[in-house]
Amino acid sequence: MRQQVIFGICITAAFGLSACGQQNGEAEVERALKELNVIDESNLNDVMATAADPNEAVSYFRRATANAPDRIDLQRGLASSLIRAKQNAQAVAAWAKVVDHEESTLNDRVELADALIRNNEWDRAESVLNSIPPTHETYKRYRLEAMVADSNQEWDKSDSFYETAVGLTTRPASVLNNWGFSKLNRGDHAGAERLFVQSLQDNPKMFTAKNNLILARAAQRKYSIPLIDITQVERAQLLHTMGLAAIKQGDVNVGKGLLREAIDTHPQHFEDAVRSLRALENNVSN
């Protein structure tokens, strides 16, 4: 009898252990799947925030934040996607919400300042930047500080901030181009030319810097394209820019020659240059 009772207990325990093992296994599977879903979602969020079509990314993060309104990573995704979609006013509101979140960082304030500058709210941007401790030294923070100083025509501060920003990045082409444009606006054409050359040394394909370089040289009456990496179409466009700059400075004959060269250089019909030359010739004849 005792043997039967013991045997029954053992059978019951065996079934219990089996059930317990099955439950533990299911729990482990569910936990693994949950972790996998988190990884997949994180990857998807990264893709949507950086590589997806900006408007699709905005729609995605709007839905995501509606389902999880307290998650700051999704709020950041929405705010950055609005910037990419050039919906700057809405981006300002989105980044302000991120900054108000209890888990926000100083980088979030920098992003808010960036959104404010894009929305032409310079005073608010300056106020936000002033609220960031000076110990928070990042490339983007100082690039924005330089742009605000430019808007206030505080040139010494601007130069200092640009120099600091250049020292905080391994790819300074963009900030060097901005610094050069600042010099161009001040009338320091030679200084601007040097900075645009440096920008192109870092990124030889940046057409904005190429165009700005031509403007800086033309302002010094240097009507030639320096040795830079350009396509035939870009050469035609730069000759067009140079021609217009020459005409604006009163060097009309030089400008007309450059416009004709631009038309001849372009591999297709160069409508903008043709229109500029025709308008100039009609004005002279009248």
Query: Which domains are present in the chain?
Result: 42-104 (1.25.40), 120-169 (no CATH), 171-220 (no CATH), 231-286 (no CATH)
* pLDDT score at 6: 42
Q: Which of 15-24, 50-59, 206-215, 238-247 has the lowest mean pLDDT?
A: 15-24
d(CA 146, CA 195): 15
**What is the pLDDT confidence band of residue 219, given thresholds at 50, 70 and 90?**
very high
Q: Please give the average per-residue pLDDT across 8-22, as a whole number.
A: 44
Whether 7 shows a pLDDT value over 60: the answer reads no
Examine the pLDDT at 173 and tell me if it is beyond 50: yes
Provide the pLDDT confidence category of residue 38 given band limits of 50, 70 and 90: very low
- The C-alpha atoms of residue 186 and residue 13 are separated, in whole angstroms, by 87
Q: Which helix (H) or strand (E) holds 30?
A: helix 2-50
Provide the whole-model pTM: 0.80
Angle at 45 between CA 42 and CA 47, to 5 degrees: 110
Mean pLDDT in residue range 26-52 = 58
Cα–Cα distance between 139 and 167 in angstroms, integer?
8
For residue 251, pLDDT beyond 50:
yes
Interval 182-200 mean pLDDT: 97
